[in-house]
Amino acid sequence: MAQKPSIPKGTRDFSPEQVFKRNYIFNIIKDSFERFGFQPIETPSFEKSETLMGKYGEEGDRLIFKILNSGDYFKDVRADIVDATIIHIAFIDLFETLIDKCNNNLKDYEGILDVKLNFFHLGEISEIESELLQDFFLGIKNDFITLFEENKDLSEEESKENIIKLRDNKFVSFFGIYMNEFDTLNSSKAIKKISEKALRYDLTVPFARYVVQHQNEIEFPFKRYQIQPVWRADRPQKGRFREFFQCDADVVGSKSLWQEVEFVQLYDTVFSNLGLNGVTIKINNRKILSGIAEVIGAKDKLIDFTVALDKLDKIGEEKVKEEMLGKGIPQEGINKLQPLFNLKGSFEEQIEELKSILSTSEEGVKGIEELEFIDKAINSLELKSAKLQLDVTLARGLNYYTGAIFEVSAPEGVSMGSIGGGGRYDDLTGIFGMKDVSGVGISFGLDRIYLVLEELGLFPKAAMKNTKVLFINFGDKEALFCLKAIKQLRESGIKAELYPDNAKMKKQMNYANKRKIPFVVLVGEEELNNDEFTLKNMATGEQEKLTLNSLISTVKK
């Protein structure tokens, strides 16, 4: 292999430094999850296709990575392909013969057509419903007879051209049938026959599957967290990957609003513990959005309405109004939205404003009550460093959420999309036949949090669990002496290593430098005889001779 090997588009290798930093984030998230009473589960990387397919919409289905069946995966497709191609060939053959035998004699043509049509009675395509095909070929026969009669007076050459035109014409509709009806060379239809497993696309659907499958072993309400990779065949682009970790915490089996309260606290706890102060936890409620749509007479256009409203930050008030108008929301309704565009002030002030806007919508009023409950509880419990903010334009994953909607944005001044999000979904497990199980959950965007911590310099040095002491290797006798000491250091919890080869001093020191190992120990003949160690501080260059005990206590500091 002449070329350097590489990895697939959209995937990443993680260097030791990156792994340490990622684990630093994971550990803080896990620790907080556990303090809040969430328990970890893990599910397989691939699920049965039927578990995943159809759960994420058409676009989602397309982005799911499918795994090829093992062994002779083509077995089932092969028979179908042969069948369908027999028909394909029959079609080509029919026109070949017609063109070939073109002597402007209708009787000849009819004879050929009848023989060819008979082909489909021979039982050779027994596995396919041939009715459709019979109709199609009979249609060709009729078209051909018409064509022939219309062109009676043409030369043989012209007649041939007409037949070719008819063929090319028919070929398009033939392929229409061929591709759609015969389940063969069509990628999306053949898939079921050559693949029955797929890599998970998110952690929510596998979680729902887990809950339904293990419902008899689970105590509800079930508070679970899950930190595992997911895979999406997205077009790779900056900051978007085909393999990435999701960190989810969800509760299923309770509709209590105290859970929403706790999730706000959980966000606050994790980001405070990461040293990322000043994040904004935006909250909204699906019922508020429904209520507004109801009030402005666009109840049936809830999706269009919220998709437009969601863009307020990006495109501004006027464009949002234009889009709504374009989607058929009446001007009169849009006028009623005006107070919404002017919504300002504290959580409580916005709530008061919403009360007057939504007074006529039962659902809207319910949404306001829920938001108020959460806000009051949080005010009383107090957040450490995050800010809770009402944002009525927040709509993410609307098809999905039925109550609270959360989204977290990085502290002001850091330009980054949302670093977390979540909400309540009233029928999580319904897709697997277990009805009326309400769920609510949040997730953390690891890759973006990593970038934010990096940008703000918030990774503590201690996150790098690098080797602390390198013992220089001056030969086997010294190396054995060093390994005895190293054993003691390691038992004291100090990360220590011996340079394995008796290489040039410079090379060994270079290794320590490049690896950013802060201490180096030198043991030559003198140290060996005196049972002592020369410790060099790589930052200051200072050296001192120490006993093993003082070496351990010095380095441990």
Query: Do 404 and 211 meet the contact criterion of CB atoms below 8 Å apart?
Result: no
Identify the H or E element spanning 281: strand 280-285
Question: At its nearest, how many Å lie between a copy of itself and the CB of residue 204?
Answer: 14
3-state secondary structure of 525: helix
The stretch among 128-136, 206-214, 275-283, 291-299 that binds a copy of itself (CB under 8 A) is 206-214
Quick check: 34 binds a copy of itself (CB under 8 A)? yes
Q: Which of 24, 305, 425, 432 binds a copy of itself (CB under 8 A)?
A: 432
> How far does the chain reach from its first CA to its final CA, in angstroms?
48
Query: Do 55 and 242 meet the contact criterion of CB atoms below 8 Å apart?
Result: no
Q: Which of 58, 500, 506, 541 binds a copy of itself (CB under 8 A)?
A: 500
Question: At its nearest, how many Å lie between a copy of itself and the CB of residue 216?
Answer: 10
Question: At its nearest, how many Å lie between a copy of itself and the CB of residue 88?
Answer: 7
Quick check: 508 binds a copy of itself (CB under 8 A)? no
Query: Do 197 and 48 meet the contact criterion of CB atoms below 8 Å apart?
Result: yes
3-state secondary structure of 75: helix
Pick between residue 82 and residue 132 the one whose CB is nearest to a copy of itself.
82
Pattern of binders to a copy of itself over 448-467, x per CB under 8 A?
-----------------xxx
Question: At its nearest, how many Å lie between a copy of itself and the CB of residue 46?
Answer: 6
Residues with Cβ within 8 Å of residue 115, at least 6 apart in sequence: none
The stretch among 39-47, 449-457, 523-531, 541-549 that binds a copy of itself (CB under 8 A) is 39-47
Q: Residues 360, 363, 369, 374: is their CA dihedral positive or negative?
A: negative
Q: Within 344-383, which residues bind a copy of itself (CB under 8 A)?
A: 377, 380-381
Give the separation between CA 286 and CA 368, rounded to whole angstroms.
10
Give the separation between CA 153 and CA 446, rounded to whole angstroms.
76
Question: At its nearest, how many Å lie between a copy of itself and the CB of residue 296?
Answer: 33
Quick check: 237 binds a copy of itself (CB under 8 A)? no
Question: At its nearest, how many Å lie between a copy of itself and the CB of residue 420?
Answer: 19
Quick check: 136 binds a copy of itself (CB under 8 A)? no
Q: Which of 8, 123, 413, 541 binds a copy of itself (CB under 8 A)?
A: 8
Give the separation between CA 59 and CA 65, rounded to whole angstroms.
12
Pick between residue 187 and residue 415 the one whose CB is nearest to a copy of itself.
187
The angle subtended at Cα 77 by Cα 75 and Cα 80, nearest 5°, is: 120
Q: Which of 61, 183, 248, 262 binds a copy of itself (CB under 8 A)?
A: 262
Q: What is the DSSP letter of 222?
A: E
Question: At its nearest, how many Å lie between a copy of itself and the CB of residue 319?
Answer: 33
Please tell me the total number of residues recorded for the chain in this structure. 557
Pick between residue 88 and residue 170 the one whose CB is nearest to a copy of itself.
88
Q: Within 263-282, which residues bind a copy of itself (CB under 8 A)?
A: 265, 269
Give the separation between CA 24 and CA 451, rounded to whole angstroms.
13
Pick between residue 212 and residue 365 the one whose CB is nearest to a copy of itself.
212
Q: Which of 468, 480, 466 is nearest to 523 (CA)?
A: 480
Q: CA 447 → CA 12, 23, 416, distances in Å?
A: 12, 12, 11
**Matching residue, tokens 């410079």:** 506
Question: At its nearest, how many Å lie between a copy of itself and the CB of residue 252?
Answer: 11
Residues with Cβ within 8 Å of residue 3, at least 6 apart in sequence: none
Pick between residue 344 and residue 504 the one whose CB is nearest to a copy of itself.
504
Instruction: Give Cα 517 to chain centroid, integer Å.
Output: 37
3-state secondary structure of 462: helix
Pattern of binders to a copy of itself over 46-75, x per CB under 8 A?
xxx--x----------xx-xxxx-xxxxxx
Residues with Cβ within 8 Å of residue 121, at least 6 apart in sequence: none
Q: How many residues bind a copy of itself (CB under 8 A)?
A: 118
Is the peptide bond between 221 and the residue preceding it cis, with omega within 30 degrees of 0?
yes
Q: Which of 322, 501, 525, 544 binds a copy of itself (CB under 8 A)?
A: 501
The two tokens of residue 298 are 């666009």
Q: Exposed e or buried b for every residue in 526-536, given b needs 16+ CB within 10 A?
A: ebbeeebbbbb
Q: Which of 121, 240, 495, 556 binds a copy of itself (CB under 8 A)?
A: 495
Rg (CA), the chain: 35
Quick check: 541 binds a copy of itself (CB under 8 A)? no
Q: Quick one: angle between helices 131-150 and 75-100, nearest 10?
A: 20
Pick between residue 148 and residue 499 the one whose CB is nearest to a copy of itself.
499
Give the separation between CA 134 and CA 115, rounded to whole angstroms.
13
The two tokens of residue 173 are 């509709």
Q: Which of 94, 199, 368, 386 binds a copy of itself (CB under 8 A)?
A: 199
Pick between residue 121 and residue 487 the one whose CB is nearest to a copy of itself.
487
Quick check: 172 binds a copy of itself (CB under 8 A)? no
Q: Within 279-298, which residues bind a copy of itself (CB under 8 A)?
A: none
Q: Which of 480, 505, 530, 531 binds a copy of itself (CB under 8 A)?
A: 480
Q: Which of 11, 146, 180, 549 binds a copy of itself (CB under 8 A)?
A: 11
Give the separation between CA 264 and CA 270, rounded to whole angstroms.
10
Q: Which of 97, 104, 151, 195 binds a copy of itself (CB under 8 A)?
A: 195
Question: At its nearest, how many Å lie between a copy of itself and the CB of residue 471?
Answer: 10
Pattern of binders to a copy of itself over 71-110, x per CB under 8 A?
xxxxx-xx--xx--xx-xx--xx-----------------
Query: Do 105 and 144 meet the contact criterion of CB atoms below 8 Å apart?
Result: no
Question: At its nearest, how many Å lie between a copy of itself and the CB of residue 515?
Answer: 5
Pick between residue 27 and residue 331 the one whose CB is nearest to a copy of itself.
27
Q: Quick one: angle between helices 347-358 and 362-381, nearest 10?
A: 170
Pick between residue 86 and residue 538 the one whose CB is nearest to a copy of itself.
86
